[in-house]
């Protein structure tokens, strides 16, 4: 990537220790606390069980094939004589837990995805970030839509009402979205806007929108008769782009196995998931993960996502802390 003086100057500030002691950082951390408390309280009131995250595992989300795939490296290491991976997404663990344990769960899950260093210029990518990640046994797409619409709208309402002083620091006027959010199919968006549809609709639309039917990983439900995928992304306005990905899930053994082989994945990496599916113990479910840092970036209206992390994890940059 060619050197850009403006980006270089901005990144120097984002990774500086002085940033931590700034009024902006103080305001950002207060917004984090308010948003996370709002969302967690709603989920607990709805009967969700809060679980703690997994960091190292033999099985994690392959992130492939995904149209937005841009992973430069995958971190693996050996512990106790066994190869494990750092968590890219807790999808496998969520599926197992809602099949054998509580039917509604959520976690604040750290994800490590070593993004291509070229993405430093997007202002929206990190190589270490946190998802508010949840799963619902026997859930459907509409269940997830209504739940996250409530989480997003209520968080914006609370911040707008209770954090006027913090928002003034960013000269931010938040628009409270109307619900339900509009829903568009990816194929229609490509026909209308071309391959850059996400960037275009994120800048043209004034409220969050759902986008469905995205060819993606093996665990997302795919209707073999119509070729339609029952999955979805949530796109934020003002150019902030995708903040959430999720889906109804595959649960039938033959379909899962066929898709794993089709995508060139190692079936041994998903041994337990396949065993549960073969025994018909893997329940249908639906879920999603919301990128916490991206949502806070949108709430505060800042240009680069690195500003909302005290210790930024920006592609291509390894800070002292």
Q: Report whether 53 contacts 108 (CB < 8 A).
A: yes
- What would the pLDDT profile of 26-37 be if each residue is shown by its tens digit? 999 999 999 999
Q: Which ranges in the chain belong to alpha helices (H)?
A: 5-14, 23-45, 91-100, 141-162, 164-169, 186-193, 197-204, 253-262, 271-278, 292-300
Domain boundaries, the chain: 5-308
Buried b (16+ CB within 10 A) or exposed e, 145-156: bebbbebbbbbb
Read off the pLDDT of each residue in 32-44 and give the average, rounded to a whole number: 98
State residue 2's pLDDT score. 47
State residue 155's pLDDT score. 98
State residue 244's pLDDT score. 98
Q: How confident is the model at residue 161 (pLDDT cuts 50, 70, 90)?
A: very high
Give the position of tokens 């339609």.
228
State residue 5's pLDDT score. 59
Q: How confident is the model at residue 7 (pLDDT cuts 50, 70, 90)?
A: low
Q: What percent of the chain has pLDDT over 90?
A: 93
Instruction: With CA atoms as reference, report the closest residue to 235 among 203, 207, 209.
Output: 209
Read off the pLDDT of each residue in 250-269 and give the average, rounded to a whole number: 96
Q: Report whether 193 contacts 201 (CB < 8 A).
A: yes
Superfamily of the domain at 5-308: Bira Bifunctional Protein; Domain 2 (3.30.930.10)
Q: How confident is the model at residue 57 (pLDDT cuts 50, 70, 90)?
A: very high
Q: How confident is the model at residue 128 (pLDDT cuts 50, 70, 90)?
A: very high
pLDDT above 70 for 176? yes
- What would the pLDDT profile of 305-321 be if each residue is shown by its tens digit? 999 999 999 999 999 99
- What would the pLDDT profile of 219-232 be if each residue is shown by its tens digit? 999 999 999 999 99
- What would the pLDDT profile of 62-121 be if each residue is shown by its tens digit? 998 988 888 999 999 999 999 999 999 999 999 999 999 999 999 999 999 999 999 998
State residue 8's pLDDT score. 67
Read off the pLDDT of each residue in 7-28 and give the average, rounded to a whole number: 89
Instruction: Give, in order, the Cα–Cα distances in Å from 119 to each of 13, 14, 301, 305.
Output: 18, 16, 19, 12
The residues, ordered by sequence, that sit 6+ positions from 164 with a Cβ below 8 Å of its Cβ are: none
State residue 1's pLDDT score. 38
Q: How confident is the model at residue 201 (pLDDT cuts 50, 70, 90)?
A: very high
State residue 13's pLDDT score. 86
Q: What average pLDDT does the structure give for the chain?
A: 95
Exposed/middle/buried for residue 7 (C-beta within 10 Å: 0-12, 13-18, 19+): middle
């Amino acid at each position: 990537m060619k050197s850009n003086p403006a980006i270089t100057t901005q990144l120097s500030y984002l990774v500086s220790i002085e940033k931590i002691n700034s009024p902006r950082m103080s305001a950002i951390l207060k917004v984090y606390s308010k948003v996370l408390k709002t969302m967690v309280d709603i989920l607990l009131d709805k009967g969700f069980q809060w679980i703690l995250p997994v960091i190292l595992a033999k099985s994690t989300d392959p992130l492939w094939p995904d149209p937005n795939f841009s992973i430069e490296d995958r971190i693996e290491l050996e512990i106790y004589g066994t190869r494990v991976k750092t968590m890219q997404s807790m999808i496998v663990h969520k599926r197992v837990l809602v099949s054998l344990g509580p039917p509604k769960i959520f976690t604040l899950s750290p994800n490590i995805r070593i993004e291509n260093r070229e993405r430093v210029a997007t202002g929206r990518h990190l190589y270490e970030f946190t998802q508010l990640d949840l799963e619902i046994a026997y859930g459907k797409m509409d269940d997830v839509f209504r739940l996250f619409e409530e989480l997003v709208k209520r968080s914006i309402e609370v911040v707008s009402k209770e954090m006027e002083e913090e928002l003034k620091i960013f000269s931010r006027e938040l628009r409270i979205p109307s619900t339900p959010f509009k829903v568009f199919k990816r194929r229609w968006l490509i026909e209308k806007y071309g391959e850059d549809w996400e960037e275009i609709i994120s800048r043209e639309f004034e409220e969050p929108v759902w986008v469905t039917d995205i060819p993606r990983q093996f665990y997302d439900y795919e209707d073999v008769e119509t070729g339609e995928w029952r999955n979805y992304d949530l796109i934020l306005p003002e150019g902030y782009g995708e903040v959430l990905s999720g889906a109804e899930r595959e649960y039938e053994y033959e379909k899962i196995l066929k898709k794993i082989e089709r995508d060139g994945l190692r079936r041994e990496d998903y041994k337990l998931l396949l065993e549960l599916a073969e025994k018909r113990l893997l329940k249908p479910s639906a879920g999603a993960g919301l990128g916490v840092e991206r949502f806070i970036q949108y709430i505060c209206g800042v240009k680069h996502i690195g500003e909302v992390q005290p210790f930024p994890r920006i592609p291509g940059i390894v800070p002292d802390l």
